[in-house]
């Protein structure tokens, strides 16, 4: 009788433990999804400043880097770096999928610049995820445009070349 | 064609491609608009003539925007009876994340979905947050781009309120 109670208690504790583990895993997964990699995780050696990129794009050197906007469509449509392509938000799976697809046929040493500028650098949910994805794919010449405030303040209002989606 | 002429043509092409950067400045008329908010109610900026308007461009992915919204919500409650009307314009690419966010973090003012056209009418919304304070006469009183000093913004609202409701 006593041994049966002990067995039942152990079974009960096992079930509770399993439920707790599943619950904690769910919480952890949610936390991971809610907190995208911060832009500050990008090494400074991988950053390019707006004036430097603008100079490269205006200059006679070729080939020019492929410039990809990894932020949000409504912002891209109003103004983006002259010649930049929109791929999707680096902070979500759909955007990262589009990014992988866009670069699939490029050689690994192709020069690529990614940028977002949706919000202040420390709050950008996109660039670090996109940078990490490209590095994981083996691209060795990936640069991230350092936009301290936002695209409007640090690129458009500085008079660097832009265009809007027709 | 001479080299100089080529450069002139290139400059003209660049200028024609460039996004217009004419942000609405203090004293200029705030562009009117009509939208249906996420709760299904019509929002027409012109209907608020005579009130002080805080027009806030934001998005669910913008950390600084989310930090501001509880303050704006409180201001609507406190200063609404004195003539303030806060209007939120989401620049999210779709309404789903907006609806989900507002379910978790409701606000006391209307939220409408923005688009590139509306952004361009306000001189371009190239980064968030972006907030306009619009006087009772429909003219822009102040423009706050990026992470703003909310104490200064509240002081500006307080100063402007007596003109709305003496």
Nearest CA in chain B to A122: B63
Give the strands of the sheet with B52-58, arranged side by side. B111-113, B84-90, B52-58, B130-134, B140-145
Q: Name the residue range of residue B47's domain.
A: 21-164
- B147: CATH: 3.40.30.10
Q: How near does any CA of chain A get to the CA of B62, in Å? A: 6
| Per-residue pLDDT reduced to its tens digit, A37-75 | 999 999 999 999 999 999 999 988 778 999 999 999 999
Q: Is residue B7 part of a domain?
A: no
Q: What is the ipTM of this complex?
A: 0.78
The span from the CA of B10 to the CA of B139, in Å, is: 37
Pull the structure tokens for residue B7: 């450069």
Residue contact B18–A157, C-beta within 8 A: no
Residue A166: band (very low, low, confident or very high) from pLDDT cuts 50, 70, 90 = confident
Indicate if the pLDDT at residue B43 is higher than 70: yes
Query: For tokens 């190239």, what's the residue?
Result: B126
Task: Answer yes or no: are the C-beta atoms of A113 and A144 closer than 8 Å.
Answer: yes
Position A13 scores a pLDDT of: 66
How many domains are contained in chain B?
Answer: 1
Q: What is the pTM of this model?
A: 0.79
Q: Is residue B36 part of a domain?
A: yes
Establish if B164 touches chain A: CB-CB under 8 angstroms: no
Q: Is residue B53 part of a domain?
A: yes
Indicate if the pLDDT at residue B163 is higher than 60: no
Phi, psi of B27 (to 5 degrees): 100, -20
The span from the CA of A116 to the CA of A71, in Å, is: 5
């Amino acid at each position: 009788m006593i041994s049966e109670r002990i067995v039942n208690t152990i079974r009960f504790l096992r079930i509770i433990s399993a439920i707790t583990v599943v619950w904690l895993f769910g919480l952890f997964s949610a936390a991971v999804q809610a907190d995208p990699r911060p832009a500050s995780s990008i090494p400074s050696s991988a950053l390019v400043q707006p004036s430097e990129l603008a100079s490269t794009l205006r200059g006679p050197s070729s080939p020019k880097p492929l410039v990809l906007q990894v932020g949000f469509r409504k912002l891209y449509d109003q103004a983006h770096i002259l010649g930049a392509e929109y791929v999707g938000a680096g902070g979500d799976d759909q955007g990262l999928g589009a990014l992988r697809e866009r670069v699939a046929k490029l050689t690994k040493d192709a020069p690529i610049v990614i940028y977002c500028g949706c919000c202040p650098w420390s709050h950008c949910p996109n660039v670090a995820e996109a940078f990490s994805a490209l590095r994981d794919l083996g691209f060795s010449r990936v640069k991230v445009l350092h936009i301290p405030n936002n695209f409007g303040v640090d690129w458009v209002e500085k008079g660097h070349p832009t265009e809007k989606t027709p | 064609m001479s080299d100089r002429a080529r450069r002139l043509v290139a400059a003209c092409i660049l200028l024609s491609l460039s996004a217009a950067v004419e942000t609405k400045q203090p004293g200029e008329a705030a562009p009117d608009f009509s939208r249906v908010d996420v709760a299904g109610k019509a929002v027409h900026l012109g209907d608020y003539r005579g009130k002080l308007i805080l027009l806030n461009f934001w998005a669910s992915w913008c950390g600084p925007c989310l930090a501001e919204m509880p303050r704006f919500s409180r201001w609507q409650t406190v200063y609404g009876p004195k003539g303030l009307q806060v209007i939120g314009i989401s620049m999210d690419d779709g309404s789903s994340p907006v609806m989900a966010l507002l379910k978790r973090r409701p606000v006391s003012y209307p939220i409408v979905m923005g688009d590139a056209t509306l952004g361009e009418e306000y001189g371009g919304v190239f980064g968030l947050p972006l907030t306009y304070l619009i006087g009772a006469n429909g003219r822009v009183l102040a423009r706050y781009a990026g992470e703003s000093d909310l104490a200064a913004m509240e002081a500006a609202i307080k100063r402007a309120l007596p003109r709305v409701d003496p």
